[in-house]
Amino acid sequence: MFRVVTVSREFGSGGGMIARSIAEKLGWDLLDRALIAEIARVAQVPPETAVRYDEHVDSWWHRFSRGGLRSAAIVAGVSPGDAQLFDAETMAAFAQRVMMKAAAKGACVIVGRGAQCALQDHEDVLHVFIYAPWAERIERVRARAEALEDVERLIEVADQERASYIQTYYGCDWKDPHLYSMMLSSKGGTEKAASIIINTVLEETAVHADAR
């Protein structure tokens, strides 16, 4: 029986809309922007700070300097925890903590943030990857991008950041099919893709009920 759905997505694939549709029709919580808000609350940082580091990887120089900052804090008599700066690594750690807590409660749809890796061993979680044809992704992103933005470059950079995030914090290949229960194209429309996922959840629930 599936109690949680994780939705990983190519940028511009409509994965966010699909996740929202799933949550609405199942009556589950949607952890996308709400996840960022919860991390900000738990970490006691402004929401805009959490947004800035969401699904990002710190620069190599920042990662290199991080250890030095902690060592300097210890020498100065300050505990490493008190001296910790909020950065992408901290954000990722809080994201994992919040996702694990949400999964334990169940009835939620989690978008991105490495949920497919953090919850990989949870048998009650359905892991989905959403992709789409390049032309459709461009069209979808262009509809909400600034007029002067290079849409193709925007998509490429976003995908690279998501892949780097998964590799850096979980040591996984973002598009490894073994991470997912299904890899689904949104070519037929986001509502159709959402329906396929919802039906999978409901069918599993019915099978579980019949087995009792």
**Contact status, residue 25 vs residue 192, Cβ threshold 8 Å:** no
7-43 CB burial, b ≥16 within 10 A, e <16: bbbbbbbbbbbbbbbbbeebebbbbbebbbebbbeeb
In whole angstroms, give the CA distance from residue 151 to residue 144.
10
Phi, psi angle pair for 126, to nearest 5° = -95, 120
pLDDT attached to residue 144: 85
Question: Which amino acid, residue 153?
Answer: R
Reference 113, options 185, 197, 57, 153; nearest CA is 57
Partnered with residue 31 across adjacent β-strands are 110
Q: What DSSP string runs through 117-156?
A: HHTTT-TTEEEEEEE--HHHHHHHHHTTS-TTS-HHHHHH
Length of the chain in terms of residues written: 212
From first to last of the 212 residues of the chain, give the pLDDT tens digit: 899 999 999 999 999 999 999 999 999 999 999 999 999 999 889 999 999 999 888 654 444 445 444 444 334 444 444 335 788 899 999 999 999 999 999 999 999 999 999 999 999 999 999 999 999 999 999 988 776 678 999 999 999 999 999 999 999 999 999 999 999 999 989 999 999 999 999 987 776 565 56
Q: What domains appear along the chain, each with residue ranges and CATH number?
A: 4-210 (3.40.50.300)
In whole angstroms, give the CA distance from residue 165 to residue 58.
9
The pTM (predicted TM-score) of the whole model is: 0.85
Cα dist from 6 to 49, 125, 152, 206, whole Å: 24, 7, 26, 20
In whole angstroms, give the CA distance from residue 195 to residue 66.
45
Q: Which residues contact 62 (CB under 8 A, 6 or more apart)?
A: 87
